[in-house]
Amino acid sequence: MYKENTTPLVSIIIPCYNYGQYIEKCIQSALDQTYDRIEVIVVDNGSIDNSLEKINLFSNNKKVKIIKLDKNLFPGSQTESAFGIGFKKSSGEYISILYADDWYLPTKIEKQVDLFDRSYSSVGVIYCHGYRYFEETKELIKWKRQEVRGYIFKEYLLNGDVVIPISPLVKRYCYEIIGLNNLWTGSEYDFLLMSQYVDFDFVDDNLVVMREHRGNDAKNIYSVYQRVKSFHTEALLTGDAKSRAGRLVARRVAMDYLAYGLNFMTRLDMKYAKVAIFDAIRLYPLYIFKPKLLISLFLLFLPLNVAKYFLKNSGKMYLLEKEIHV
């Protein structure tokens, strides 16, 4: 157990919008960390359900700070994000984001701080593996993305997302490098931007759980997709990222578009799938030779019941190799 005031303070920031059914478990998982020196900052992002009522159950806990916003400020909303507001109220040397429908396992923060203590000063982000929890089937499945250390910007561009979005523990200055006014502060794209400037490391353990549930529907995902395109225009297709990696950036952006298209397809929303898949082709025509893209193009022109039969079998898991969390 760590002693008070002798170890770095960790700020766990939890933006919440209409997740009253999940937020209590989420906050409790942050408070249950074996690393004692934490503060938990919960930002109610204009919820209209019972989220604030659930959040206020923790109002007497000295480790919890509660911020109530009058309207929803999502990443990419052309204004300050809920995470950014929570960050400004935080005091931690290390920052960790936790989505309101997900949770941490108890040793998450402790193991990451311990690795920071043993790492080079150039390391700014330490991530870990996790689990996916499928609410409908109650399945808990181990989830690994990649295991890469050091300067991994090109790895991000070549292979897509490296980290599970809620897994990183981040040195505070990393957010200052990418800028709190960045339209996507508080999203997984933060780590892509950070990878241009600092080294990454990882704890080889499953320490976080991300929930998959019916709230993540196609309409919500398409709304996020539109904001993703805005992010790409603002932060990747211009500026530092483009100058550092050239054509790899276009390839990486097209990879994101294709991943969204495949996600829509597995939900049998062929209209949205067609938009995203053709966006990918326009940006990076060489993707036309990718097996997944060829299969998706074939499925787009099949009768819906035939496509549905394929996707209900092995096709769904094959196409969803790159997951999208909303």
Q: pLDDT tens per residue, the chain (326 residues)?
A: 444 557 899 999 999 988 999 999 999 999 999 999 999 999 998 899 999 999 999 999 999 999 999 876 655 444 467 888 899 999 999 999 999 999 999 999 999 999 999 999 999 999 999 998 988 788 898 988 788 999 998 888 777 778 898 999 999 999 988 887 655 566 777 888 899 899 999 999 999 999 987 665 555 666 667 767 766 666 555 555 555 556 677 777 788 788 888 878 877 788 888 888 888 888 888 877 777 778 888 888 888 787 777 776 654 545 545 443 33
- Rounded CA gap, 174 and 107, in Å? 23
Q: pTM (2 decimals)?
A: 0.77
- Rounded CA gap, 322 and 44, in Å? 29
For residues 178 and 233, state if they share a domain. no
CATH of the domain at 71: 3.90.550.10
- Rounded CA gap, 313 and 311, in Å? 5
Pairing of strands 123-134, 199-212: parallel
For residues 159 and 270, state if they share a domain. no
Any domain includes 3: no
For residues 36 and 179, state if they share a domain. yes
For residues 182 and 55, state if they share a domain. yes
Pairing of strands 64-69, 123-134: unpaired
For residues 50 and 105, state if they share a domain. yes
Number of compact structural domains in the chain: 2
For residues 253 and 152, state if they share a domain. no
For residues 176 and 239, state if they share a domain. no
For residues 240 and 105, state if they share a domain. no
For residues 45 and 117, state if they share a domain. yes
CA distances from 34 to 27, 107, 112, 180, 309 (A): 14, 6, 12, 29, 47
Any domain includes 36: yes
Cβ-proximal residues to 132 (8 Å cutoff; 6+ apart), any chain: 140, 141, 143, 209, 210, 212, 323
Ramachandran bin of 2, using left for φ above 0, alpha for ψ from -120 to 50, beta for the remaining angles: beta
Domain ends where: 166, 182, 212?
212
Residue closest to 163 by CA, chosen among 152, 173, 171, 179: 152
For residues 185 and 43, state if they share a domain. yes
Cβ-proximal residues to 250 (8 Å cutoff; 6+ apart), any chain: 237, 283, 284
| Cα of 124 vs its chain's centroid, Å | 17
- Rounded CA gap, 75 and 313, in Å? 35
Give alpha helix (H) positions in the chain.
23-31, 51-55, 82-88, 108-117, 153-159, 172-178, 189-194, 218-231, 240-245, 247-266, 270-283, 291-300, 304-310, 316-319
Phi, psi values for residue 25, rounded to 5°: -65, -40
Any domain includes 5: no
Any domain includes 50: yes
Any domain includes 132: yes
Any domain includes 127: yes
CB 260 within 8 A of CB 226: no
For residues 171 and 119, state if they share a domain. yes
- Rounded CA gap, 130 and 136, in Å? 19
Any domain includes 4: no
Domain ends where: 212, 234, 269?
212
Residue with tokens 């805005």: 230
pLDDT at 257: 84
For residues 144 and 283, state if they share a domain. no
- Rounded CA gap, 176 and 167, in Å? 19
Host domain of residue 230: 218-319
Domain ends where: 167, 194, 212?
212
Any domain includes 324: no
